[in-house]
Structure 1
Amino acid sequence: MTQVQPPLEFIPPSFNPVVLRLTQWAIRPLYQQFLTNIRSIEIQNLEQLADLYSQFQAGKIRLLLAFRHPSTYDPLCLGYTIWQELPKIARQQQIPLSASPHFHFIYDRGIPLWAGSMVGWLYSQLGGTPIHRGKLDIVGLRSARHLFANGTFPLAAAPEGATNGHNEIISPLEPGIAQLGFWCVEDLKKANRPEEVLILPVGMQYRYLTPPWQALERLLAELEETCGITEPLTLETLPQLPESEMNDPQSVLSPQQQVILYGRLYRLGEHLLTQMEAFYRRFYHQQIKTDPQSPFPERLSQLLDTALGVAEQFFNIPPKGNAIDRCRRLEEAGWAYIYREDIPNLEVLSPLERSLANRIAQEADLRLWHMRLVESFVAVTGRYVQEKPSAERFADTALLLWDAIARIQGTNPFNRPRLGKQSCQIIVGEPLSVSQRWETYTQNRARAKQAVTDLTQDLQQALSGLIVADAG
């Protein structure tokens, strides 16, 4: 971003059934052959979702689908499930549906900025509503609140707020979904409506049809070359690794091959970590307290904190909250410098004023780079592969390293390598009743805040329980 932009406008939902039908018609062959490497979708407990849709259409409940968000493929897989598979199971189980199932959804306002304005138009036509993360987006929240209480379809949202790149780790949930639930109960009571408000956890997880060990080795070799790592790694030259069994009985690799592959992955992570520590020490004059002998997770946490601090210093923002909170505030601060709400009409600026506005927009975009780097690693523990050396965990971690290197090189981080064909596993959980928590919520402000926290924690636990530990 090198030029100042006009303010980001709200994209109102404008559901168009013709666009929906065209999308439903196109999604099956498109997502199989061109858009993704997903080749099958396995769904558990779909009867539960069909029954809830039936109750929704009968005016008995208001429903929000809270789905896990490990991948950018999630919306396509969720759409296919609801558009194609849900009507089938409803017919098989003789569950009445009065209309073809669909869903409104909440999406990040930033998606059309990198995916293109056409995506914003498509999301609007499909009934989606945007939310501007990082600030109190009154217009966006009002739209989501209206759709939850009055929309033609159930509402879908990812409570993690963004993809985290991990199939078996859930990022801390943002409290907005729980708050929307209580607002929906409030709106229904004001209108003397009897519907019960439910939040339905939906687990999403991916596994490779065939463990892509050869593709992973090629990817590691590519990343090693990019990082200037040329020394071959053998059992004799392995670095000092954390203690680990490194023996996955489901792997087609021998225990020795697993150890070497993990050693390469660990060496690559350490190399990148060391390079970035030196980068921030030398060029941003940061005092990083850890050293190469410190535990990997501790070093990573310190580096992420340092990167966020560099951006926060530029925008004069105090480091408050967890890494996700800090990323959201930085994003908003950067957008305020780029999408200038204080300049209603850029055309009235003098050439000098326009140049200065362009300069600050460029500076803001450069500082947001640090935040984007952190954003890719907020869920990284440093122990993910060590705890379970499955192909899925190897791939998750290697692709996150690829993301980081792509951002450092300034290439497109969304054009990820495809390591192999995958299946998507979707598990429909048990609904959480928001209505049953209403009495606690209305007692006083402190109890209301606690009710939101408790519901968020219960949702986190429910989504964690939908992770299949032996996937892959």
Structure 2
Amino acid sequence: MPRASILSARPALRRLPTRPGRRVQRVLQRLIPLVLRAQKLQIRPGNAAEQLAKAFSAQQRGDTTLLLAFRHPSSRDPMVLADLFWNQVPRAADQLGLRLPRPIELRYIYDRGIPIWAGPVIGWLLQRCGGIAIHRGRLDRPALKEARQVLAQGRHALVVAPEGATNNLSGEMAPLEPGVAQLAFWSVEDLAKAEDSRTLLLVPIGIRYSWRQQNWTALDQRLSSLENHLALARVSDSEQEPRQRLLRIGSVLLDALEQLERIPSKTDQNFPDRLADFREHGLQRAELHFGLRPGSTVQERCRRIEQAAWDRIYRDNLESLNPLERSLADWEAREADLQLTRMRLVEHVSSVSGHYLEENLEFDRCGELLMVVEDAISWLEDRPIESQPSLGPQRVELSVGDALPVMEHLRHYQRNRREAVAGLTEQLQQSLQGLMEPQ
């Protein structure tokens, strides 16, 4: 994510309404396959197109309402899913002889912060494609109400990413946020109160990226280029393994970050423990600044810090402030942006861990981790670094798991809501975890 530089307080973020446009969808429906082809990204739908064709057929018949939860390893996921829903599912329905009386139109939840860093054009497109903007770091009642209404009405499927953010790793999933399970239970309650006979289907969708060929020579050259960029000495024969070289690069990166944050380096600690200490240090400093209590997961803590920063940067009372108060608001906004940058640092380096390569030293994992490191260094230097040669064209494999029967857990939810939400979240986590293996 690009780094921002806030020098003054800004007007409050306005709510972005959902303004779907069929004409925009039709244009994107034709354009997206061309973009994917230009990126040399090969789509392998696996069982996803056929399974979803059956699900959308049942939904358009009025038998079900759909809540689709997808793995979110990459920023390319929305484009991949749009091609799946708008192009491949209708083709699969035709091949299966299933009737889809109307074009597939979706509603999906996206982070309100995306238009801030991606720009107004992306924000406009998100609105026109059925997006529901949500503030992830707080209880956004209007957005949740809209999402709940979508499921109650049942005309559109609701698409969500329960991880909350990308980690750029196809083989490792972040802990899921409980909001998806909570939304599913709310919707089941709404259907029951309305005496609506439709069933809610919570459908997990797996997304896995890989390279079409294992070009170890290109990977070696990219590692050498990165080592030269960091002025590292040539590695010995015992350190030629990609995992050792990546850990060595990560260690140099962590040395610099520890110096930046004035964290004493502990020579007796291994790399993962040092990284965990750095992450905890950065989050605690930001939380202390904003007066926040630590959350249960790194993702939750990052979202709460982000929201606290936004509350101080984007303010709804700027016009009523006198000159002194306005100057102090600008000062507070600059300090909030500094803490937001500290949180972004944690996000960028959290995936740079040797654990990802311990179990399986495969090309795809090495390539993904290399790109995560390159991205972190580029962000720190505030400029792109040389990242040649290319590792080659990629493919993306899509898969769909069995729908989770939310209604069966309704009584449990009514007895103990927190326990039922945690249980359904765990089931969804296990289902998505099972879809991460190559199909």
Give the TM-score range, shorter chain: over 0.9
Aligned counterpart, 2:280: 305
Secondary structure at the residue paired with 1:79? helix
Aligned counterpart, 1:391: 363
Match of residue 336, structure 1, among 288, 311, 315 = 311
Give the TM-score, by structure 1 length. Answer: 0.87
Match of residue 30, structure 2, among 18, 25, 31 = 25
Aligned counterpart, 1:253: none
CA distance in 2, matches of 1:268, 1:362: 32
Match of residue 57, structure 2, among 51, 54, 65 = 54
CA deviation after TM superposition for structure 1 residue 280, in Å = 1.9
Secondary structure at the residue paired with 2:261? helix
Aligned counterpart, 1:357: 329
Cα distance change on mapping 1:412 and 1:358 into 2, 3 Å:
farther
CA deviation after TM superposition for structure 1 residue 183, in Å = 0.9
Aligned counterpart, 1:315: 290
CA deviation after TM superposition for structure 1 residue 189, in Å = 1.9
Cα distance change on mapping 1:392 and 1:171 into 2, 3 Å:
same
Aligned counterpart, 2:261: 280
CA distance in 1, matches of 2:275, 2:27: 45
- 8 Å CA contact 1:3–1:362 kept in 2: the answer is yes
Secondary structure at the residue paired with 1:43? coil
CA distance in 1, matches of 2:126, 2:153: 19
- 8 Å CA contact 1:323–1:378 kept in 2: the answer is no
Match of residue 426, structure 2, among 451, 457, 466 = 457
* More moved, 206-215 vs 101-110: 206-215
Aligned counterpart, 2:242: 261
Match of residue 5, structure 1, among 6, 10, 16 = 10
Unpaired runs of at least 5, structure 2: 1-5
Aligned counterpart, 1:406: 378
CA distance in 1, matches of 2:77, 2:388: 15
CA distance in 2, matches of 1:380, 1:151: 41
Aligned counterpart, 1:14: 19
* 1:282-297 superposed matches below 5 A: 286=263, 291-297=266-272
- 8 Å CA contact 1:205–1:425 kept in 2: the answer is yes
Match of residue 98, structure 1, among 94, 97, 101 = 101
CA deviation after TM superposition for structure 1 residue 466, in Å = 0.6
CA distance in 2, matches of 1:106, 1:47: 24
Aligned counterpart, 2:402: 430
* 1:55-74 superposed matches below 5 A: 55-74=58-77
Aligned counterpart, 1:234: 236
- 8 Å CA contact 2:72–2:166 kept in 1: the answer is yes
Aligned counterpart, 1:241: none
CA deviation after TM superposition for structure 1 residue 423, in Å = 0.6
RMSD: 2.2
Deviations for 1:403-456, whole angstroms, at most 9, x for unmatched residues?
A: 22122223479x99964211110001110011121121122xxx1111111000
Secondary structure at the residue paired with 2:227? helix
* More moved, 377-386 vs 176-185: 377-386
Secondary structure at the residue paired with 2:292? coil
Secondary structure at the residue paired with 2:17? coil
Deviations for 1:373-426, whole angstroms, at most 9, x for unmatched residues?
A: 21234455522123211111011111111222122223479x999642111100
CA deviation after TM superposition for structure 1 residue 99, in Å = 1.4
What is the number of equivalent residue pairs in this alignment? 433
- 8 Å CA contact 1:307–1:374 kept in 2: the answer is yes
- Counting aligned pairs with the same residue, the percent is 38
* 1:126-145 superposed matches below 5 A: 126-145=129-148
Cα distance change on mapping 1:144 and 1:396 into 2, 3 Å:
same
Give the TM-score, by structure 2 length. Answer: 0.93
* More moved, 62-71 vs 269-278: 269-278
CA distance in 2, matches of 1:296, 1:123: 39
CA distance in 1, matches of 2:190, 2:137: 25
Cα distance change on mapping 1:65 and 1:418 into 2, 3 Å:
farther
* 1:143-222 superposed matches below 5 A: 143-150=146-153, 152-222=155-225
- 8 Å CA contact 1:171–1:379 kept in 2: the answer is no
CA distance in 1, matches of 2:293, 2:17: 33
CA deviation after TM superposition for structure 1 residue 151, in Å = 5.0
Deviations for 1:59-88, whole angstroms, at most 9, x for unmatched residues?
A: 111111100000011111111011111111
Aligned counterpart, 1:109: 112
CA distance in 2, matches of 1:367, 1:416: 33
CA distance in 1, matches of 2:268, 2:74: 33
The question of 1:43 aligning with 2:43 is answered no
Letter in 1 for 2:362: S
Aligned counterpart, 2:3: none
Deviations for 1:151-195, whole angstroms, at most 9, x for unmatched residues?
A: 531111110000011111111000000011011112112222111
Cα distance change on mapping 1:432 and 1:464 into 2, 3 Å:
same
Cα distance change on mapping 1:455 and 1:380 into 2, 3 Å:
farther
CA distance in 2, matches of 1:362, 1:218: 40
CA deviation after TM superposition for structure 1 residue 356, in Å = 2.8
CA distance in 1, matches of 2:426, 2:355: 23
Cα distance change on mapping 1:59 and 1:216 into 2, 3 Å:
same
Deviations for 1:351-380, whole angstroms, at most 9, x for unmatched residues?
A: 444333222212211111111121234455
Cα distance change on mapping 1:31 and 1:463 into 2, 3 Å:
same
